[in-house]
Amino acid sequence: MPLSRRPGHMAAKAARANVCVIALLAAAPISVIAQTVPTPAAHTNGQSAEMGPAPAGPSVKIAAFLSNGHESLSPLGLNDRLGGAGAAADDARAARHLGQPQLRGFQDRAPRAPWFAPLSSLVLPGSGQGMLRQPRALAYLVVEAFLVIRSTQAYRDDQNARTTYRTLAADIARQGFGSSKPDGPWEYYEEMAKHEASGAFDKGTAGQFIPETDISTFNGKQWELAREQFWDIDNPPPVGSQVYQRAVDYYKTRAVQGSFQWSWRDNRLYLTAFREAIDDSNQSNQRYVNAIGLVAANHLVSLIDAYVTVRLRRYGGAGLSSANLNTRLLPLGVRGDRGYGMAVGVTIPIKSGR
């Protein structure tokens, strides 16, 4: 016989408690709370004059409580959703069962977001992320340490190579051109690597100035450039003319003389070592510049990361449109090797929160 046709059984079921189930849906596993709600006993015939036919089974009412980690729906007022007697008391008991007398909103449960975290990241990458309790703080610190070590090593290599080529230039190539051997600019040593000799500054006698004419030497090359600039090579002006004198003046400003003259002739092995030291210095200096650029980029990325995080936690992203970091590799023409540098561009469009 079906259950609905047994009056005695229906009366017994009606005397049982209605069950109110509250399902809490959150990031954590679903918790189900059951609360017994007593109901008036039904008549023996399974009917009541006021209430009508007794229910065929237990009365189950469900309310969903959702928390998405940012805002919470208070369980207060569940009596409106559940209905029936004792609903308000059920709400209170449900809250006590959760161990949350009062459920707070997002601001009370949000992670820390100190306003100075971006500034801290600018000074030391990863420190701001540490204040914000972000695991990637360690990554920024590791990258910073690696780049600092790389830049320090590159700088040391550059200094060692610079000492090597300056010593070779002073002790070998510039020997015999005066006792004083002052250091020259970087371009001076590059020209020493390109030309075996500087050539004479003045080949004239008896007070007549005659520039170096051997174009295989550095000074001879400068005199050739002066002549090409001021007159036609096939039709030179008279010596002592105004045009000729302008070319001589140009030559004097570019040619080397005195203790800056050099010669690698009969010292080819030393010239090879000198050129290798020049190349090593070039490459080490480029590695140093690249590492410093990446250090700056690491500081900048850490700053932007911390700024966006603080903005989101404090204001929910209000007024923040986007933050884009664009990077690209640029070839750097290093003689003897090919290096690369990083160009970093940052775009942070900000719009009014109103």
**Mean per-residue pLDDT for 106-135?**
82
> Do 287 and 150 form a contact (C-beta atoms < 8 A)?
yes
Quote the CA–CA distance of 230 and 239 in Å, as a whole number: 13
Mean pLDDT check: name the lowest of 104-118, 215-229, 340-354.
340-354
DSSP class per residue in 67-102? B-SS-B--STTHHHHH-STTHHHHHHHHHHHHT-SS
Quote the CA–CA distance of 314 and 296 in Å, as a whole number: 27
pLDDT band at 316 (very low <50, low <70, confident <90, very high): confident
DSSP class per residue in 291-322? HHHHHHHHHHHHHHHHHHHHHHHHHTTTTB--
Q: What is the pLDDT of residue 51?
A: 43
Please say whether the dihedral angle defined by the alpha carbons of residues 333, 334, 340 and 343, taken in this order, is positive or negative. Answer: negative
**How far from chain centre, in Å, is Cα 339?**
21
Mean pLDDT check: name the lowest of 173-182, 275-284, 332-341.
332-341
pLDDT at 157 over 60: yes
**How far from chain centre, in Å, is Cα 156?**
26
Beta partners for residue 320, in sequence order = 350
**Residues 83-100, buried b or exposed e (16+ Cβ, 10 A)?**
eeebbeebbeebbeeeee
Region for 84 from its dihedrals, namely left if φ exceeds 0, alpha if ψ lies in -120 to 50, beta otherwise: left
**How far from chain centre, in Å, is Cα 30?**
39
pLDDT at 196 over 90: yes
**SS3 helix, strand, coil % of the chain, rounded to 5?**
45, 15, 35
> Do 186 and 162 form a contact (C-beta atoms < 8 A)?
no
pLDDT at 235 over 90: no
Mean pLDDT check: name the lowest of 76-85, 101-110, 160-169.
76-85
Max CA pair span of the chain: 146
Q: What is the pLDDT of residue 45?
A: 44
Phi, psi of 93 (to 5 degrees): -65, -35
* Beta strands across the sheet bearing 18-25: 31-37, 18-25, 60-66
- Which amino acid does the sequence have at 115? W
Quote the CA–CA distance of 91 and 89 in Å, as a whole number: 5
The position carrying tokens 């510049």 is 289
pTM over 0.75: no
Tens digits of per-residue pLDDT, 32-82?
Answer: 333 434 444 444 444 444 444 444 443 333 333 333 333 334 344 434 444
Share of the chain above pLDDT 90, in %: 44
Element containing residue 21 per DSSP (H, E):
strand 18-25
pLDDT band at 249 (very low <50, low <70, confident <90, very high): very high
Tens digits of per-residue pLDDT, 252-277?
Answer: 999 999 899 999 998 999 999 999 99
User: Per-domain residue ranges for the chain?
Assistant: 3-108, 155-286
| Token pair of 236 as six digits | 């030179």
- Supply the mean pLDDT for the chain: 72
**Mean per-residue pLDDT for 158-162?**
96
Residue from 106, 62, 46, 34 nearest 316 by CA:
106
pLDDT greater at residue 16 or residue 205: 205
**Mean per-residue pLDDT for 156-162?**
96
47-48 and 52-53 strand pairing: antiparallel
